[in-house]
Amino acid sequence: MGTVTRIAVLDDYQRGAADYADWDSLGDGVDVDFLHEPIPRERLPERLAGYEVLVVMRERTRFDAATLAQLPKLQLVVTTGMRNASLDVEHLTERDVTVCGTGLASSYETPGVPTTSEVAWALILAAVKRVTAEDRALRAGRWQTGLPANLGGATLGLAGLGRLGASMVGPARAFGMDVIAWSQNLTTERAAEVGVEAVSKDELLGRSDVLSIHLVLSERTRGLFGALELSQMRRTAVLINTSRGPIVDERALVDALADGTIAAAGLDVYDVEPLPVGHVLTNLDNVVLLPHLGYVSEATLRDMYEQVVQDIAAWRDGSPIRTID
């Protein structure tokens, strides 16, 4: 395998990737560029045409077949995570471009709640207790502009009961909440194992005081929560999404928040990321917005980038690891 000359590390918004792994260990003749700003989709081919290796953050920058076809030198793509819905892996495979990923960050394996679930709880508390709304009001000279709700005795609904969904249960119990769950594949055995009640989708929507989404984005889950589903929720309910933006119909959510179909939302993910300046969501007072911080911590990023360097080194040695087909 030939020597890699140029590597582009995309989406390094926190400007930490250069320090989070030993890129020098890749040896001489390797030129690594760290790109800190999002690249407009139409400029991706022009900006990246000279690179043999792309390092991409899972589902931040979309690379469809048309874009990838304009990157003639591309030989390796490394994505954080072991799946990336924004990357046309089939196209890359057909071109014999190697695709590698990273495994579960060790920060997820430490005791306690995973960082994504911590962010979900931050959004729940901010929305239910009106943290950001009252912060804005207080800075503007207004005092106690609304009434926070109580979590004790309320019902947390989980859409998805995998690793992240299940990690929401402990904190909910500590707050004195009842917990129900639904997903398309959820079994009563899995629900019993986690200690929650398995319900139908209609029950999930109708009974949840807080509905938190923990599903993988796929064609089956895209648009899973639209206008009809939001209309089935309580007017006092709060919707939390730390999974992927397109799982919720964004236009329907904006309308539901604007007309009071639901009380509030807490969002860490969006249809387009970064969220465009002036987006309608930024003008709504009953939504708490975060810039996709669900998995962002120094420990997690260090682990991811260390694995990225391992992937590149193994590929250069002719024995790729953590390959994605």
Residues annotated catalytic, as ranges: 244, 273, 292
Taking every pair of Cα atoms in the chain, the longest distance, rounded to a whole number of angstroms, is 66
CB-based contacts of 46, cutoff 8 Å, min separation 6:
none
Other beta carbons within 10 angstroms of residue 58's beta carbon come to 19
Tokens representing 314? 């193994």
Owner of token pair 């387009």: 272
